[in-house]
Structure 1
Amino acid sequence: MIQIPPSAIENWGSAAVFANVLATRLGVPLPAIPVLVFAGSAIAGGNLVFSHVLCAAVVAALLGDGVWFSAGRIYGRRLTDFLGRISLSLDASVRTTRALFERFGVAIVAVSKFVPGLALITPPLMGTTQIAPVVFVAWDALGTVAWAAFWLLGGALFERQLGLLLSVLRPHGGSILDVLFTAAVVYLAYRYLLRWRFRKWLSRRIVSPERLYRMMRSSSPPLILDARPVSVRRDESYRIPGALLLDVESLDTMDANLSASNIVVYSMYPNDATVRKIRKQLLGKHVVNVRVLSGGLDEWVRRGYAVEPLPPELNLFAASMARF
């Protein structure tokens, strides 16, 4: 099948799957799916045993997810905040996972591995909830078995096509290792390109906490929008003084007569992708003076600036804008 002796595949194939899946589940930016697909092809070729590879993948995933779940249980929001700060995609994933958990409960653990962006953040986020560890492990095991089996069987199904690919590479000195390496490089390059583009976009549209503080004390203070999820507001029931609570799902109902307003939007994380979505929708209403608070509410609090308690009733944007 490849330029690796069948004996080596038999001896190290399951170990390679275990190592790759464990590294991926611990957060190393490596793609696990190509390895599972080629392992499935090796299973179809009789070089690996399906049950052995499946067991290796499941145990590795459960170990990695267990580490993150335990970390979430110990460190709570501090951990998810940290993940949101160092990643472009996880900040949006936190919001999505919170919303899905509130709607569907712990069952989202079983499907999170099939959804890009949710697989890594789900275990630590579940750790911050009151879910019992045994319940988390049960749903995680169910989802992991389905996920690993899907890609292994997919690799077995397309064994012939993968063999043709490798037969094309072989005359040029290529092997399965070259394919996996190329996949990893492309994956990493794509992730970092997205991060670079977003940070470049954000750098031209941010306002520092110090500058916002000065703007608030000027003769024409800006309109400040709190774009945090409702679930976060329940846990952290404070806001920047005078900020209006924005319902992200009801942006289409906004007052269109805001084109003259100077607006600053904030959420939880310094690179929260939600604020980009909000700004884009505001631009669609010809609201051009929109900037983003650098570091979000967490950075505002860290710098020692004042906050005020949320009102007893969480009036959303439509109600708040009635006076404008």
Structure 2
Amino acid sequence: MPDISQIISDYGPWAIFTLVLIEDFGIPVPGETALISAALLASQGKMPITLLLPAAWLGAVIGDNIGYAIGRFGGRRVVVRYGAKVGITDRRLARIERFFARRGGAIVIVARFFVGLRQLNGIVAGIGCMAAPRFILYNAIGAALWVGVWGFGVYWFGQHFEQALEKFGPIVMYVGGGVAAVLAIGYVVWRFVWRRRRSGSRDRRSTSKTKN
């Protein structure tokens, strides 16, 4: 894609609406990255936050509903057949379907915060024939939370970070860098432990099936 910042600068909230909408029915475009970048620009007064947030929310809601319609009326076979061109493989779809089956419809609310789930949660909900009113409600709530965190949250952080930097100078950078490093290390450790547990669980299931 062309430089994302240039697209945002040229088209403003319309760019965010379009990118988020496209991402949310399975097309691999940087919708979340675009929202974060736009929120930072808004914190610098280069874009109206009052237009950015509704545009991102509408794009998220409409995009997921398009995904839901694709899954509901196209079915799993059609989604896998044509979705392979944009990375929607049978294996990937099956993994997310299992996740939905374990967690239920409420996963629609938090799915936006996870790569893969965000792009495919509407499609999987449609394939699973989740009731449309239920999906629309959960989808709207999830979109509001997601836009609140990555839209308004980044906007608020951008405004207050500059003020803190002017007031406290390099201390803010050191503290912020330290917190970011701790979070990054914690995430890596969590992923390592989670993968080991998952691998161990698979080995136990495999051993159990062999014995049976």
Q: Is the Cα contact below 8 Å between 2:20 and 2:31 reproduced in 1?
A: yes
Q: Is the Cα contact below 8 Å between 1:84 and 1:91 reproduced in 2?
A: no
Q: 1:157 matched to which residue of 2?
A: 157
Q: What is the CA RMSD across the aligned residues, in angstroms?
A: 3.2
Letter in 1 for 2:47: L
Q: Is the Cα contact below 8 Å between 2:35 and 2:150 reproduced in 1?
A: yes
Q: Is the Cα contact below 8 Å between 1:37 and 1:151 reproduced in 2?
A: yes
Task: Identify if the C-alpha distance between structure 1 residues 83 and 116 changes in structure 2 by more than 3 Å, giving closer, same or farther.
Answer: farther
Taking the aligned partners of 1:251 and 1:86, their CA distance within structure 2 comes to 33
Q: 1:29 matched to which residue of 2?
A: 28
TM-score, normalised via structure 2 length:
0.66
Compute the displacement of 1:87 (Å): 5.6
Task: Identify if the C-alpha distance between structure 1 residues 250 and 22 changes in structure 2 by more than 3 Å, giving closer, same or farther.
Answer: closer
Task: Identify if the C-alpha distance between structure 1 residues 122 and 26 changes in structure 2 by more than 3 Å, giving closer, same or farther.
Answer: closer
The percentage of counterpart residues that share the same residue type is 25
| Structure (1 or 2) with the larger CA radius of gyration | 1
Q: 1:73 matched to which residue of 2?
A: 72
Higher helix share: 2
Taking the aligned partners of 2:119 and 2:82, their CA distance within structure 1 comes to 10
Deviating above 6 A after TM superposition, structure 1's stretches of 4 or more consecutive aligned residues are none
Q: 1:131 matched to which residue of 2?
A: 130
Compute the displacement of 1:52 (Å): 1.8
The residue correspondences of 1:199-214 to structure 2 (distance < 5 A) are none
Q: Secondary structure at the match of 1:158?
A: helix
Task: Identify if the C-alpha distance between structure 1 residues 109 and 254 changes in structure 2 by more than 3 Å, giving closer, same or farther.
Answer: closer
Q: Is the Cα contact below 8 Å between 2:93 and 2:124 reproduced in 1?
A: yes
Q: Is the Cα contact below 8 Å between 2:26 and 2:67 reproduced in 1?
A: no
Q: Secondary structure at the match of 1:119?
A: helix
Compute the displacement of 1:21 (Å): 1.3
Compute the displacement of 1:84 (Å): 6.5
Q: Is the Cα contact below 8 Å between 1:19 and 1:60 reproduced in 2?
A: yes
TM-score, normalised via structure 1 length:
0.45
Correspondence 1:107 to 2:106: yes
Letter in 1 for 2:18: A
Compute the displacement of 1:86 (Å): 4.0
Compute the displacement of 1:140 (Å): 0.8
Taking the aligned partners of 1:154 and 1:44, their CA distance within structure 2 comes to 8
What runs of 5+ residues in structure 1 fail to find an aligned partner? 165-247, 256-317
Compute the displacement of 1:70 (Å): 0.8
Q: Residue 204 of structure 2: which of 232, 243, 252 is its match?
A: 252
Q: How many aligned residue pairs are there?
A: 169
